[in-house]
Chains A and B, each alone.
Chain A
Amino acid sequence: METLDFRFDSAPVSRAADPALCGVVGSGNLEILVQSGDLPNACQVRIKTAARGFGDTWRAVLDAFATTHPAGGTRIAINDMGATPAVVTLRLAQALAEYQGGAQ
């Protein structure tokens, strides 16, 4: 296991509903929990992953997410079982939409 912590600047999230959980911890998949955070213009992320050594890839995937989505003011926890960047990107979008009450 490896634990990774990141913080990205991101436009404030438009609307916050209840904490949102998306995905499952299964092979090639991941679980994402989105909750409210303390920094309105930043998205804080903690990842626990079974696949070691992909810190740079996580940084790039999450940076792209925080740039293209308003995710400021969120705290995101990820439990990963070797999901590909395609799956991570899709789940992040789903989880954020869920967090915003299905809005956007």
Chain B
Amino acid sequence: MNAPLSRTWDSQRQSRSRRLERAASLGFGKEIPVDRIIDLLEAVIQPGDRVCLEGNNQKQADFLSESLADCSPERINHLSMVQSVLALPSHVDLFERGLANRLDFSFSGPQGARLAKLVQEQRIEIGAIHTYLELFGRYFLDLTPNVALIAAQAADAEGNLYLGPNTEDTPPIVEATAFKGGIVIAQVNERLDKLPRVDVPADWVDFTVLAPKPNYIEPLFTRDPAQITEVQVLMAMMAIKGIYAEYGVTRLNHGIGFDTAAIELLLPTYAADLGLKGKIATHWALNPHPTLIPAIESGFVESVHCFGSEVGMDAYVAARSDVFFIGADGSMRSNRAFSQTAGLYACDMFIGSTLQMDMAGNSSTATLGRITGFGGAPNMGSDPHGRRHASPAWLKAGREAYGPKAIRGRKLVVQMVETFREHMAPVFVEELDAWKLQKSMGAELPPIMIYGDDVSHIVTEEGIANLLLCRTPEEREQAIRGVAGFTPVGMARDKAMVENLRDRGIVRRPEDLGIDPRQATRDLLAARSVKDLVRWSGGLYAPPSRFRNW
């Protein structure tokens, strides 16, 4: 028999104590003076640490990120960064300045090109590109942070935190770190004697620092109705009549973009005229999209749970507590982890856009020279095989996919795209750029955002392809070519086979749905400008200045 292993069982706690002692020896209490933040970071962060830097495509711990980037690479190096989004210049500075060399993340919108360059120069090692839920999950398994740098709205003297409407990713980050011997440091916008509510208890927080300016928030989900085109209105009409109405979709998520904004603005007009109020689009996992205001005010929407908040929407959201999740203090609490869970398991439909789609229906937003990642789209845009509860939409889709004796249903995963993007770049392609990107990244897999076998429908200006009803890979391919318009892959369709698919209702044209494309005008939009949205909100929506032109 082996002797019992001789080891210490609290090395993480001991390491934590040593870090806190180093901070105490430098005279630090819980509240850190803003001009000494670098001293604190250098005292509690060690070379080789795994550091979680909070930041999503909305809220950013930008002051802590800039401060970490200004630390000495002699003192702090070989950090392994874990973070939802690589969005700020300082996020990339960490790698360029030699403080960090490994990255596990979900999304890197604006820094995609700089990231690709660092990968090619082998100055950054990418562990993996995740979905949000995968990354949050790994915080509790093999990517638990040693140190978390987070953003909060306010702290009190004890260190309790109020996160405000942009709660977002903070709860899982703090929980994983605080309960596994890690250090939690929060930048706050203000110090208050009494918080409106406590989102994070003080004993999970080690240090707070009053940031010189409020944390950055990007108005990512605001779409100006003035920019919605007639083609987008046409596609929205097809989606509402051909998918929302036919499946009776009540629980759903919308991706970002003008295509889905058009749908939101047609609910009080076109969908209401079809008698669909109360029958579709009642329960949402969605950020507070300003373009949803008219549908909410028209009584279409019963409930919205949010991943984060949206700049300018706080007062409107707070005044609609029947719809949004509002605390006793009167402000919203969002939660990305829970909203993503709702999007994965509790929604019957995801509908969103993409940049490229191949003939198997795989889609990707990765293009050459840019590593962008996925965010939450693959969580929402996938059929969860573990789902058990039934709903009419889920059952109907399941029977279309697996036949009348199906033992499971099917989530609707809808990709909505105009066949050409700007500058005549075709969306439909024989091969995704993701494959070339895989080679240049040295990655194990191509960065595919939505897998083709998860996609149920494709909506383009030419029509709707129902992939659930396809019985062979050839049918699937021709159904996709059949709605790919005048792109090269669309023109290479087998016309007879596409007509056969049309006879079987697998490919449907606007006229097959009883839609006259000439009626697709902007007059159908419930709001045609940001000012209209403000009016619908009764003056509660306060758009950021760049969306104001009056």
By a beta-carbon cutoff of 8 Å, the part of chain A in contact with chain B is 28, 51, 54, 57, 60-61, 64, 82, 84-87, 89-90, 93-94, 97
Beyond A51-B424, A60-B491, A82-B424, whether A87 also contacts B517 by CB under 8 A is no
Give the complex CA separation of A89 and B517 in angstroms.
9
Q: How far is the CB of A78 from chain B (nearest CB, A)?
A: 15
Whether B491 contacts A84 by the Cβ 8 Å rule is no
Known: A84-B418, A84-B424. 19 other contacts (CB 8 A): A28-B229, A51-B424, A54-B424, A60-B491, A64-B486, A82-B423, A84-B419, A85-B419, A85-B420, A87-B231, A89-B517, A90-B230, A90-B231, A90-B234, A90-B517, A90-B518, A93-B517, A93-B518, A97-B518
Q: How far is the CB of A59 from chain B (nearest CB, A)?
A: 10
Residues of A within 8 Å of B424, CB to CB, are 51, 54, 57, 82, 84
Whether B485 contacts A90 by the Cβ 8 Å rule is no
Whether A86 contacts B419 by the Cβ 8 Å rule is yes
Residues of B within 8 Å of A64, CB to CB, are 486
Residues of A within 8 Å of B203, CB to CB, are none
Q: How far is the CB of B118 from chain A (nearest CB, A)?
A: 34
Q: How far is the CB of B147 from chain A (nearest CB, A)?
A: 48
Whether A60 contacts B486 by the Cβ 8 Å rule is yes
Residues of B within 8 Å of A54, CB to CB, are 424
Give the complex CA separation of A94 and B516 in angstroms.
10
Whether B486 contacts A57 by the Cβ 8 Å rule is yes
Residues of B within 8 Å of A82, CB to CB, are 423-424
Whether A87 contacts B485 by the Cβ 8 Å rule is no
Give the complex CA separation of A51 and B485 in angstroms.
19
Beyond A60-B486, A86-B418, A89-B461, whether A94 also contacts B518 by CB under 8 A is yes
* Interface: B520 (CB within 8 A): yes
Give the complex CA separation of A103 and B16 in angstroms.
78
Whether A86 contacts B461 by the Cβ 8 Å rule is yes
Give the complex CA separation of A64 and B485 in angstroms.
10
Residues of B within 8 Å of A97, CB to CB, are 518
Digitize B270-313: 1 where CB-to-A-CB distance is under 8 Å, 0 elsewhere: 00000000000000000000000000000000000000000000
Residues of B within 8 Å of A86, CB to CB, are 231, 418-420, 460-462, 485
Name which residue of chain A comes closest to B229, CB basis: A87
Give the complex CA separation of A87 and B419 in angstroms.
11
Digitize B486-513: 1 where CB-to-A-CB distance is under 8 Å, 0 elsewhere: 1000010000000000000000000000
25 contacts between A and B (CB under 8 A): A28-B422, A51-B424, A54-B424, A57-B486, A61-B486, A64-B486, A82-B423, A82-B424, A84-B418, A85-B420, A85-B485, A85-B486, A86-B418, A86-B419, A86-B420, A86-B461, A87-B229, A87-B230, A87-B231, A90-B230, A90-B461, A90-B518, A90-B520, A93-B518, A94-B518
Residues of B within 8 Å of A90, CB to CB, are 230-231, 234, 461, 517-518, 520
Closest 9 pairs (CB-CB, A-B) = A86-B461, A85-B486, A84-B420, A86-B231, A60-B486, A94-B518, A86-B418, A93-B518, A57-B486
Name which residue of chain B comes closest to A84, CB basis: B420
Residues of A within 8 Å of B231, CB to CB, are 84, 86-87, 90
Give the complex CA separation of A84 and B423 in angstroms.
8
Residues of B within 8 Å of A93, CB to CB, are 517-518
Q: Which of B231, B461, B486, B491 has the most CB of A within 10 A?
A: B486
Digitize B413-436: 1 where CB-to-A-CB distance is under 8 Å, 0 elsewhere: 000001110111000000000000
Q: How far is the CB of B498 from chain A (nearest CB, A)?
A: 13
Q: How far is the CB of B499 from chain A (nearest CB, A)?
A: 13
Give the complex CA separation of A94 and B324 in angstroms.
41
Digitize B213-236: 1 where CB-to-A-CB distance is under 8 Å, 0 elsewhere: 000000000000000011100100
Residues of A within 8 Å of B234, CB to CB, are 90
Give the complex CA separation of A57 and B462 in angstroms.
15
Name which residue of chain B comes closest to A60, CB basis: B486
Give the complex CA separation of A82 and B422 in angstroms.
9
Digitize B159-195: 1 where CB-to-A-CB distance is under 8 Å, 0 elsewhere: 0000000000000000000000000000000000000
Give the complex CA separation of A61 and B229 in angstroms.
19
Give the complex CA separation of A4 and B426 in angstroms.
22
Give the complex CA separation of A93 and B418 in angstroms.
18
Residues of B within 8 Å of A61, CB to CB, are 486
Q: Which of A51, A60, A86 has the most CB of B within 10 A?
A: A86
Residues of B within 8 Å of A28, CB to CB, are 229, 422
Name which residue of chain A comes closest to B418, CB basis: A86
Q: Which of A61, A84, A90 has the most CB of B within 10 A?
A: A84
Q: How far is the CB of B440 from chain A (nearest CB, A)?
A: 28
Digitize B454-471: 1 where CB-to-A-CB distance is under 8 Å, 0 elsewhere: 000000111000000000
Give the complex CA separation of A90 and B231 in angstroms.
7
Q: How far is the CB of A93 from chain B (nearest CB, A)?
A: 5
Residues of A within 8 Å of B518, CB to CB, are 90, 93-94, 97
